[in-house]
Structure 1
Amino acid sequence: MASTTEPAPTPAPAPTVGFDLDMTLIDSRPGIRACYQALAERTGTYIDADLTVTRLGPPLVEELIHWFPADQVAAMADLYRSMYPSIAIAASPAMPGAREAIAAVRQAGGRAIVVTAKFEPNAKLHLEHLGIEPDAVIGDLWAEQKAEALREHGAGVYVGDHLGDIRGARAAGALSVAVPTGPCDAGELAEAGADVVLTDLTEFPAWLAAYRPARA
């Protein structure tokens, strides 16, 4: 007699999830603001530090071009990055839910990676200072460039706060999960093509718990 026992459902594979850094995992505004103020004082160049922190996301040089002649931007970027560790790291707290989001990926048996436009050594310093330990940190990648790292690590989900993060996820064929904790509001993120828009990372563990069975 044939068995009528239903086969056990196949569990969803353990996910690899990529996270952006600035304004996704960390609130880097206080540190970056202080670093721009120090750069202005050091160079005698006016920089509106309050304005700079309203448009975080793109690479450093894209901000510096607003304040320095093009032929000085590379040198100013090097100077800024050299000043950054002593000024910006301790001043930048974790975003609400950041640690729990990384932990949720681990509890699901997955890997959590950070893919950011920030200078990689400084990105690592932020995470070390905050005690956040992803499986890999890849810096110096912006927008579609982030797809390189996401594909290399097999990330099926990328979490970010900027339209550039959505573009990076799409270029990698990954699900775009967005949080309006940076310069882009929820409507902008949805309109730009985010697959999921959460209020902030505190909602991520519950979302991930539901997402995995849905995939299976």
Structure 2
Amino acid sequence: MTSRVLTVGFDLDMTLIDSRPGIREAYRALSAETGTYIDADLAVTRLGPPLEEELRNWFPAEQIEEMGDRYREIYPTYAIAPTLAMSGAREAVEAVRAHGGRAIVVTAKHEPNAKLHLAHLGIEADAVIGWLWAEAKAEALREHDAAVYVGDHTGDVRGARTAGALSVAVATGPCDAAELRSAGADTVLADLTEFPAWLDAYAAGADDRG
């Protein structure tokens, strides 16, 4: 039997939390403050990539850094309270702990804001690592020896595969199940409510192999 502690990584937006209501409000506030039109309803359908990629749709290149900084400053005021936990999120994290494992969050989001979301929703992670997107997520996954990474975006699949971790995808974000499978996800779940049963089967298999 292996002595390796099971570590499972989770993405944040649209995996553990439904941040669309909060992000919509933050974009609307930034739009009102700057006088620049932002289609907030459209923007929240494209969550996953770094903030700067979305801001390029609305601001000239020379303003992206300034607008990104300002968005992150106002974010706690507008985005934390409206954000909800995804169905099964708390139970998914608890399932990892029930197997004696560690649950970490690896996200492209500004790390302090990610921590605010988790604290507000009462989701306790063993570590929270921000500012990492797609293949760059492998840095944190390797550092924490994560065997599994759970996310909703094809970028999360790429991050898991780059790290040599098992990619478990949930079809709760902008990418549907077919896209996630095509990107190379090892397993695609409808949502996190299916994760505890999947983890039970995975852990049993790991014990058999160990």
User: Scaled by the length of structure 1, what TM-score is found?
Assistant: 0.94
Runs of 4+ residues over 2 Å off in structure 1: 10-14
Residues 1:182 and 2:173 are matched in the alignment:
yes
Residue-by-residue CA offset, 1:29-51 (whole Å, 9 max, x unaligned): 00000100110000000000010
Q: Which residue of 1 aligns with 2:118?
A: 127
Q: Is the 8 A contact 1:12 1:215 kept in 2?
A: no
Residues 1:41 and 2:40 are matched in the alignment:
no
Structure with greater Cα Rg = 1
Q: Which residue of 1 aligns with 2:50?
A: 59
Alignment size in residue pairs = 207
Distance 2:71 2:2 in 1: 47
Distance 1:113 1:134 in 2: 5
CA positional deviation for 1:213:
1.2
Residues 1:30 and 2:21 are matched in the alignment:
yes
Q: Is the 8 A contact 1:24 1:182 kept in 2?
A: yes
Distance 1:114 1:92 in 2: 17
Across the aligned residues of Structure 1 and Structure 2, the Cα RMSD in angstroms comes to: 0.9
Unaligned regions of 5+ residues in structure 2, if any? none
Q: Which residue of 2 aligns with 1:87?
A: 78
State the one-letter code of the partner of 2:9: G
Q: Which residue of 1 aligns with 2:101?
A: 110
SS state at 1:54 partner: helix
Q: Is the 8 A contact 1:11 1:213 kept in 2?
A: no
Distance 2:29 2:142 in 1: 37
Residues 1:202 and 2:200 are matched in the alignment:
no
Distance 1:169 1:13 in 2: 18
CA positional deviation for 1:14:
3.7
Q: Is the 8 A contact 1:12 1:212 kept in 2?
A: no
Distance 2:115 2:197 in 1: 27
Distance 1:100 1:164 in 2: 24
Q: Is the 8 A contact 1:14 1:108 kept in 2?
A: no
Q: Which residue of 2 aligns with 1:144?
A: 135
Q: Is the 8 A contact 1:24 1:95 kept in 2?
A: yes
Distance 1:91 1:140 in 2: 22
Residues 1:153 and 2:139 are matched in the alignment:
no
Distance 1:12 1:182 in 2: 34
State the one-letter code of the partner of 1:184: C
Distance 1:214 1:138 in 2: 28
Unaligned regions of 5+ residues in structure 1, if any? 1-9
Q: Which residue of 2 aligns with 1:166?
A: 157
Distance 1:192 1:154 in 2: 22
Closer, same or farther in 2 for the Cα pair 1:55/1:65, shift >3 Å? same
Distance 1:101 1:213 in 2: 17
Distance 2:34 2:165 in 1: 42
Distance 1:161 1:128 in 2: 21
SS state at 2:95 partner: helix
Write out aligned runs for 1:96-107 (5 A): 96-107=87-98
State the one-letter code of the partner of 1:102: V
